[in-house]
Structures are given as structure tokens and as C-alpha cells.
Amino acid sequence: MKGKTHRFYLSLGSNIDPEQNLAVAIRRLSDYGAVLEISGVWESHAIGSEGPDFLNACVSFAAPCRAELLKKSVLETIEGAMGRAKTTDKNAPRTIDIDILMQDDRPLNVERWSHVFVVVPMAELLPDMPHPSSGAPLAKEAIKAAASTWIRRRPGVLKLPDSKS
């Protein structure tokens, strides 16, 4: 990958061996760019299925490519190598799911920003950033989202050097 380096914010989630798979995914990301910051790990219930609870985190990541190339060449490669099986059930349990939330200062996948498992960890990384839909600071949106949907912090899950959890 060559080109201008962009800063991305990624959402990572797993509900199959999540403690191991979040750490593996972050280590694999570092093969393609620089992992700059990692939020705390948050547990939330599976949405749309009876699967086990998810562990989620957000990551600030720098790589010399645009979002489209990052998704196809990096994220889908990591997901596939980690055994992510995409099925017709978009809510099926998964080893890892990695979504791009932002490229530089531009929010992407705005529909994802309505989920507590995105807003709460993102608020740790960018508390003053305006929420892409409401315009309220992420820290305020995170408090509101956490008050209406069950989520809990899972300290100590990621044991990576220089991580925030």
C-alpha cells in the first residue's frame, strides 16, 4: 500500500473467543499500519440474535491508503484469516468484525454511530467530537446511550503494549 497516510477510526467486535480475537485483530492491524490509540473494551449484548455477548473496542489507526482500499485489502483480509464467515444472517456470531467509522475527520458508516458499542468506546478516543447525527459531543451521546442500553467496561481484557486498557 502506498499513498498519503490517513487516520482511521475502526470499530472492532467479537463474540467468539472475544478476549483472544480482539487482541489478534489489533496485532494484525499493526502489520499494515500504525495502531495509535485503543479504547477500553466494552461488553454488550448481541443485537438481532441470541448469540453470546460481544466485546467491542475502537482503534485509531494510520495507514497509507483510502477507506475503500483499507476495507478490501486489510480489514477483509484480517477478518478472513481469523475465520470470519459471512452468512445471510448479518447478526450471526463472529470471530471478528472490523468497521471503518472515520477517515481523517470524516465520519463514515453513519448508521453504525447509533449503536452504544460504537459511541461509548469512540467517546473515549474523541470525547469532544460532534456525533455525526445529533451534533452533540460524543461524551454526552455516550452517557445517553449507556443509560438506555446495557453495556459494561471490561478492564484488563487487552494486554497490549501502549494500549489504554
What are the tens digits of pLDDT across the range 46-83?
Answer: 887 777 999 999 999 999 999 999 999 999 999 999 98
Buried b (16+ CB within 10 A) or exposed e, 6-43: bebbbbbbbbbebeebbbbbbebbeebbebeebbbbbb
45-49, 61-65, 109-113, 154-158 — most confident range: 61-65
Residue 133 has pLDDT above 90, yes or no: yes
Q: What is the pLDDT of residue 105?
A: 93
Enumerate domains of the chain plus CATH numbers. 6-111 (3.30.70.560)
Please tell me the distance from the alpha carbon of residue 82 to that of residue 72, in angstroms, as a whole number: 15
What's the mean pLDDT when you consider all of the chain?
90
Residue 153 has pLDDT above 60, yes or no: yes
Please name the residues in contact with 54: beta carbons below 8 A apart, sequence gap of 6 or more. 13, 14, 15, 18, 43, 44, 45, 46, 117
Q: What is the pLDDT of residue 93?
A: 81
Q: What is the pLDDT of residue 164?
A: 44
Residue 150 has pLDDT above 90, yes or no: yes
Residue 33 has pLDDT above 90, yes or no: yes
Q: Using pLDDT thresholds of 50, 70 and 90, give the confidence band for residue 165.
A: very low
Q: Is the pTM of this model over 0.85?
A: yes
